[in-house]
Amino acid sequence: MELKHLTGFVAVAEELHFGRAAERLHIAQSPLSQQIKLLERDLGVKLFDRTTRTVRLTPAGQALVEPARRLLADATAVRRTVRAAHLGEVGRVTVGFAGASSYSALPLFTRAVTSQLPGIELVLEGQTYTGEALRRLTDGSLDVGFVALPVRRGITARVVRMERLVLALPDSHPLAAYAEVPVRELAGEPIITFPLSRESAVREAMVQACHDAGFAPHIAQEAPDSYNMLALVGAGVGVAVVVESARNIHLEHVVFRPLAGDDVPVLPIALGWRTGNASAALHAVLRVAEEVLPTPGDAPDPEV
């Protein structure tokens, strides 16, 4: 029994037509018929009832279809694994992420890596905000992370998303009637944001925007992640300045409004990794990331 015999068998079993199966496999019909005969001889059973008009699976043929598909799938996986080992595309890559922006990008990223690089295990570590991510990239305990700019010396970054800040507020809040909310309207409002200890770029941008508008923000409560923050907004605890990707988190009684003004911060979100990290697995992951998370045309240069 050879893999090409099983490939021919599965093609005929799915097409129930030798001519179409041969065309699908890009071979002549005669070699395909010979493959089926050799497989039947090896198994000692008849796999197809064939007339001039019809092709039907015998009970033995029906029993072989699923095992044959599994064997072919396993063979494909073996080829991928061996090729990945040859190219260095095996191992573990630790990914740090936090916040709504990475929540939006992460599924695209992880699905693509899992599909294209089966020899690589992604270890996902949530609530890894920019400050912590940069420290861990530097000390080598993290391979790649979603970070905001600027990055520190020794870290290489590529921008994957540009995030405008928006306001999340209860649907019953007076500011919900605004089409856009000037930052100055947040003066005195209870604001929910990420913990200071997490060194969140979103929190820093919110505080800076408030200071630029002439007031210090009244931080009423801190939340560990975007979902909890928006849950508190929906509960009427306060309002929150978040990235636009947070709109993808759907919670009752929470609405989003743009912040007014041309000077509203836009955060470049980047993938960052330690400069000089020679891991073949990491660089394979970065190649896939560049395909599914291309750099936006309006992104700044991370080196500037």
CATH number corresponding to 91-160+269-292: 3.40.190.10
CATH of 3-87, one of 3.40.50.620, 1.10.10.10, 3.40.50.300, 1.10.940.10: 1.10.10.10
Cα 39 to its chain centre, rounded Å, is 43
162-266 has the same fold as 91-160+269-292: yes
CATH number corresponding to 162-266: 3.40.190.10
One-letter identity of residue 171: D
pLDDT by 10s per residue, the chain, length 304: 899 999 999 999 999 999 999 999 999 999 999 999 999 999 999 999 988 889 999 999 999 999 999 999 999 878 877 776 666 678 899 999 987 878 788 999 999 999 888 888 999 998 898 889 999 999 999 999 999 898 989 999 999 999 999 999 999 999 999 999 999 999 999 999 999 988 888 999 999 999 999 999 999 999 988 999 999 999 999 999 999 999 988 899 999 999 997 778 889 999 999 999 999 899 999 999 999 999 998 888 887 5
**3-state helix/strand/coil string of 220-245:** EEECCCHHHHHHHHHCCCCEEEEEHH
One-letter identity of residue 105: A
pLDDT in tens, 32-51: 999 999 999 999 999 999 88
Domain limits of the chain? 3-87, 91-160+269-292, 162-266
Asked if the bond preceding 302 is cis, omega within 30° of 0, the reply is no
pLDDT in tens, 178-214: 999 999 999 999 999 999 988 888 999 999 999 999 9
| pTM, entire model | 0.66
